Amino acid sequence: MGKSQRIKGRSQEYLLRNYLRDLMFVSERIPLSGAIKGYPGDVKATKAGVTYLFELKSRKDAFKSLYALYTEHYNNTDEGVLCVFIDGISVKLSPVLDEVLLESGIFTTVTRHPLYAKHKRTFKRFVTMHKWLKGADILAIKNDRQPYLFMRLMS
């Protein structure tokens, strides 16, 4: 990884840390999180005595299908959180972090829902995204000029 990539990653981690602080989390960036094994997650945040580890993936324009999926879900259902069940994994996706942190949710099986049929490929990517978590609890996804999308895999 080049120096400019490390600098961008570090600055995005600080932005996430500050965003979580604005949401009243006690949060800190984990130094060397991507460089040394044994340091899972990029940012550690605590609220009401519960600690969460966040893994951040920030791209210029790579998560278009995820943002499109969430936008279509919200426009058609008016629900703030997308809860789906695919290949044995429950996935929650929302720009509202508190919605993702809730343990409950009504999960829809992707294969049985007509709204999600055209996004089948995007849903299949959810299953492979668990490798990005690397021991973290929540995946924070960020495209330039887009709000955060928080994803939690609940198996």
Render pLDDT for 52-74 as a digit per residue (tens, 0 to 9).
Answer: 999 898 888 778 888 888 888 88
> Where residue 70 sits, what CATH number does that domain have?
3.40.1350
66-104 confidence digits (pLDDT tens): 888 888 888 888 788 888 777 777 888 889 998 888 877
- Between CA 1 and CA 60 the distance in angstroms is 17
CB atoms within 10 A of CB 31: 11
> Domain range holding 139?
3-154
Q: Is the pLDDT of residue 127 over 70?
A: no
Query: Considering the chain, what is the average pLDDT of its residues?
Result: 81
87: left (phi over 0), alpha (psi -120 to 50) or beta: left
107 DSSP 8-state letter: P
The pLDDT value recorded for residue 115 is 65
Q: pLDDT digits over 4-49, tens only?
A: 777 777 888 999 999 999 999 999 998 876 556 666 788 999 999 9
Domains held by the chain: number: 1
CA gap 80, 151 in Å, rounded = 13
- Crossing angle of helices 120-133 and 64-77, in 10° steps, is 120
- Please state the length of the chain: 155
